[in-house]
C-alpha cells in the first residue's frame, strides 16, 4: 500500500461549548442552577449581582428588563382565542439585564463605627422576646442535630464498663441500623476484636451480657435483634403495675403474627383471653414503637423550591416564574467600559473573553426561563381539569403532546420537566407528574392512569373495614364508570400507591 491523499465531503452535528452550556442549564434543578450562578459570579469578573429595583431607560429600550409586570404573565386559559398560545410563549420573565446600577457593596445604609464605640452599643444580643412577643426557647434555638450513634456513644461514656466490654459495645453501636435494631450476628459483629490473650476468646455469654446492658439505653427498645425482642424490651421497661402488661407480653412473645390479622375470634380461642382483655392488651402493644431509632436517624432533608407558580384570580389562571430562585445578574459596566476593541494585550483579551462568556451565560439563562415558561403554560392549558378538581380529572398526556405544540424535541421537554416543580392550588408537583399513560374507556376515549389511581384510592378509603374491596370488585366498579382496565392492572396501581391487599386491609368490628 502506498500513502495518498483523498478528499471527502461529510456532514456531522457538532455541539459548541455554548450550546452544551445552554443544554446543561436547561436540565439543572433550582438548587443546582443557583449553585451554578454563584460559581459563575466567582469565576467571571464581568458578571455581578443586580440590586433590587435597579432599572434604567436603556433597559426598557433594549427590552432586557429584569422582571416583567405581573400582567404580562397572566394567561387567560378560559379564552377561546387561538392566538393565546403565542401570547403565552412571549409572556416570560427575563432574569438578566445589562442595566446600569450602583455597586452592590456600596449600600447607602452602611455606616462607619466610631473608634471608641462600645460593643454593647453596636451589637444587641439575643432578645428575650421573639418578634411575635413570645419568649425565645434558648434550648430550641441552639439545638444541635445528633445522630443515633452519637446519642448511644454519649450514653456509653456515662456507663461504667471494662475496656473489653466497651470495645464490644462500640462494635454493636456501629452495627445498629437506622431503625435502632441490630440484625447482624453478634459474633460476626465482634470478629475484629482481638483479645490480648489469644486463648481468652470472646464468649457468647459475654456478648449477650453487653447487649443486654445496651438494651437499657434510650430510646426504649434499642438494640433489639428483631421486632419481637424490640417490643419485649419496651414492655419490660414499663411499670410492673401497668394494666394488662402480662397479656401484652404473651401476645408479643407467642402470637405476634396473629396480632397483625386482628381476628379477635381466632386470637381469643388461642389465648383463652376475653375480648376485653385482648382489646386492652392490643392497645398496649400498639402504643409501642417497633422502630425506636427512627426519631434520631440522620435524614438529609431535601427542600423543594417551586420554579413556577399558578393561581386562579378572578376566574383566570395566572402563571408566573419564581424569579427569586437565583440571583439577578448583569454585566459589570466598569469592566466592560475598560475594554479597548483595538487592544490585543493579554489583559484586554481576558476582559473580552469573559465578556463574551458572560453575555452567553445570560442569554442561556434567559432561554432557559423562556422554555420553562412555555412548557408550564402548555401543561396548565391541557390540565385545567386537574387544577379545578384534582387528580381524578387528570388527562392522559405524553412528552410528544407538548413537543408538538411547542415545536420542540421530546428530549428538550424531558430536560425541562426534570426536577422542576409547579406550585398549584392542589399542591406542589414535579412537572413530570402531569405526564401519564392512559387506559381505554367504554366510550372509546382515554383516561389517565393518574386519574385511575386517584379513583381507586377514593374507592378504597370509602370501603367498609370489615368487607374490603377485592381487586376483582374494584375492576367491576371501574367498569361501571366506563373505565376498562384489567384486574392485574388494578393490582399494579394499588401496589404502586402502597395499599395492601384486601385480606391485609380487613378489620373486624370487635377490633378497636
pLDDT, tens only, 196-250: 777 778 888 989 999 999 999 998 999 999 999 999 999 999 998 999 999 999 9
pLDDT given at position 189: 87
Q: Does residue 241 sit in the same domain as residue 155?
A: yes
**What is the three-class DSSP state of 154?**
helix
With respect to residue 167, please indicate whether it lies within any of the assigned structural domains.
yes
Q: Are strands 421-424 and 308-313 parallel, antiparallel or unpaired?
A: parallel
Q: What is the CATH number of the domain that holds 495?
A: 1.10.10.60
**Are residue 154 and residue 252 in the same domain, yes or no?**
yes
In this structure, the answer to whether residues 380 and 500 fall within a common structural domain is no
Asked if residue 342 and residue 210 are part of one domain, the reply reads no
CA distance 88 to 499: 40
Compute the mean pLDDT over every residue in the chain, rounded to the nearest whole number: 77
How much is the pLDDT for 439?
Answer: 75
177 within some domain: yes
Distances (CA, A) of 244 to 237, 487, 512: 14, 44, 16
Residues 159 and 204 in one domain: yes
In the structure grid, which three cell numbers stand for residue 38, read together? 454563584
Same domain, 415 and 321: yes
> Is beta strand 96-97 parallel, antiparallel or unpaired with respect to 329-331?
parallel
Distance, C-alpha 280 to centroid of its chain: 39
Query: Three cell numbers at 264?
Result: 379477635
Is 107 within the bounds of a domain? Answer: no
In a domain, 42, yes or no: yes
What pLDDT score was predicted for residue 54? 46
Same domain for 363 and 274, yes or no, is no
CA–CA distances in Å: residue 423 to residues 308, 312, 356: 6, 12, 35
Measuring CA to CA, which residue among 372, 457, 447, 451 is closest to residue 22?
Answer: 372
- pTM given for the model: 0.57
pLDDT of residue 391: 86
Q: Give the integer Cα–Cα distance in Å for 211 and 176.
A: 12
Q: Would 130 be classed as within a structural domain?
A: no
Supply the pLDDT for residue 318.
87
Residue 12 falls inside a structural domain = no
283-311: burial string, b at 16+ Cβ within 10 Å, e else: ebbeebbbbbbeebeeeeeeeeebbbbbe
Answer whether residue 75 is part of any domain. yes
Residues 6 or more apart whose CB falls under 8 angstroms from that of 230 comprise 180, 181, 221, 224, 290, 292
288 and 175 in a common domain: yes
Same domain, residue pair 374 and 318: yes
Predicted pLDDT of residue 374: 92
Query: Does residue 89 sit within a domain?
Result: yes
Total domain count for the chain? 3
State which residues of the chain have pLDDT below 70: 1, 13-15, 52-146, 260-263, 297-302, 342, 438, 442-444, 508-512
**Omega before residue 219 within 30° of 0, cis:** yes
Containing structural domain, residue 497: 437-505
Q: Domain check: are 276 and 316 in the same one?
A: no
Q: Give the model's pLDDT for residue 52.
A: 60
Q: Are residues 92 and 220 in the same domain?
A: no
Query: 206, 144, 142: which is closest to 171 by C-alpha?
Result: 206
d(CA 293, CA 285): 18
Q: Decide: helix, strand or coil at residue 276.
A: helix
Instruction: Specify the pLDDT at position 160.
Output: 92
* Same domain, residue pair 152 and 264: yes
Amino acid at each position: 500500500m502506498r500513502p495518498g491523499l483523498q478528499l471527502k465531503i461529510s456532514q456531522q452535528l457538532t455541539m459548541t461549548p455554548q450550546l452544551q452550556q445552554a443544554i446543561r442549564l436547561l436540565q439543572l434543578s433550582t438548587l443546582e442552577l443557583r449553585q451554578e450562578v454563584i460559581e459563575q459570579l466567582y469565576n467571571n469578573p464581568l458578571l455581578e449581582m443586580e440590586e433590587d429595583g435597579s432599572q434604567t431607560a436603556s433597559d426598557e429600550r433594549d427590552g432586557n428588563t429584569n422582571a416583567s409586570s405581573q400582567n404580562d404573565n397572566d394567561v387567560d386559559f378560559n379564552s377561546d382565542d387561538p392566538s393565546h398560545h403565542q401570547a403565552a410563549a412571549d409572556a416570560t420573565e427575563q432574569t438578566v439585564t445589562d442595566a446600569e446600577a450602583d455597586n452592590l457593596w456600596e449600600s447607602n445604609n452602611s455606616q462607619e463605627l466610631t473608634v471608641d464605640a462600645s460593643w454593647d452599643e453596636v451589637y444587641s444580643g439575643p432578645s428575650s422576646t421573639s418578634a411575635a412577643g413570645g419568649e425565645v426557647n434558648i434550648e430550641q434555638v441552639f439545638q444541635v442535630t445528633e445522630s443515633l450513634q452519637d446519642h448511644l456513644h454519649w450514653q456509653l461514656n456515662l456507663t461504667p464498663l471494662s475496656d473489653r466490654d466497651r470495645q464490644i459495645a462500640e462494635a454493636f453501636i456501629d452495627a445498629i441500623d437506622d431503625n435502632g435494631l441490630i440484625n447482624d450476628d453478634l459474633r460476626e459483629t465482634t470478629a475484629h476484636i482481638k483479645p490480648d490473650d489469644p486463648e481468652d476468646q470472646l464468649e457468647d455469654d459475654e456478648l449477650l451480657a453487653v447487649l443486654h446492658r445496651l438494651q437499657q439505653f434510650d430510646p426504649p427498645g434499642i438494640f433489639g435483634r428483631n421486632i419481637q425482642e424490640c417490643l419485649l424490651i419496651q414492655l419490660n421497661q414499663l411499670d410492673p403495675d401497668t394494666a394488662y402488661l402480662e397479656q401484652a407480653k404473651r401476645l408479643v412473645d407467642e402470637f405476634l403474627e396473629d396480632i397483625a390479622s386482628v381476628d379477635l375470634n381466632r386470637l381469643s380461642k388461642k389465648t383463652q383471653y376475653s375480648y376485653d382483655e385482648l382489646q386492652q392488651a392490643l392497645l398496649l402493644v400498639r402504643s409501642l414503637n417497633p422502630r425506636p431509632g427512627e426519631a434520631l436517624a440522620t435524614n438529609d432533608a431535601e427542600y423543594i423550591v417551586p420554579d413556577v407558580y399558578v393561581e386562579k384570580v378572578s376566574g383566570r389562571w395566572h402563571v408566573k416564574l419564581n424569579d427569586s430562585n437565583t440571583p439577578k445578574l448583569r454585566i459589570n459596566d466598569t469592566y466592560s467600559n475598560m475594554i479597548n476593541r483595538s487592544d490585543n494585550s493579554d489583559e484586554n483579551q481576558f476582559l473580552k473573553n469573559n465578556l463574551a462568556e458572560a453575555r452567553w451565560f445570560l442569554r442561556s439563562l434567559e432561554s432557559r426561563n423562556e422554555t420553562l415558561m412555555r412548557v408550564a403554560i402548555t401543561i396548565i392549558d391541557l390540565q385545567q381539569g386537574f387544577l379545578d378538581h384534582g387528580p381524578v380529572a387528570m388527562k392522559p398526556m405524553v412528552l410528544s403532546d407538548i413537543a408538538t405544540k411547542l415545536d420542540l424535541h421530546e428530549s428538550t421537554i424531558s430536560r425541562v420537566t426534570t426536577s422542576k416543580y409547579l406550585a398549584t392550588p392542589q399542591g406542589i408537583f414535579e412537572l413530570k407528574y402531569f405526564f401519564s399513560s392512559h387506559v381505554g374507556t367504554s366510550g372509546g376515549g382515554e383516561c389517565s392512569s393518574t386519574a385511575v389511581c386517584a379513583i381507586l384510592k377514593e374507592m378504597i378509603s370509602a370501603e367498609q373495614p370489615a368487607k374490603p374491596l377485592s381487586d376483582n370488585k374494584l375492576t367491576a366498579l371501574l367498569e361501571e364508570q366506563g373505565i376498562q382496565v384489567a384486574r392485574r392492572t388494578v393490582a399494579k396501581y394499588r401496589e404502586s400507591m402502597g395499599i395492601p391487599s384486601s385480606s391485609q386491609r380487613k378489620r373486624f368490628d370487635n377490633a378497636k
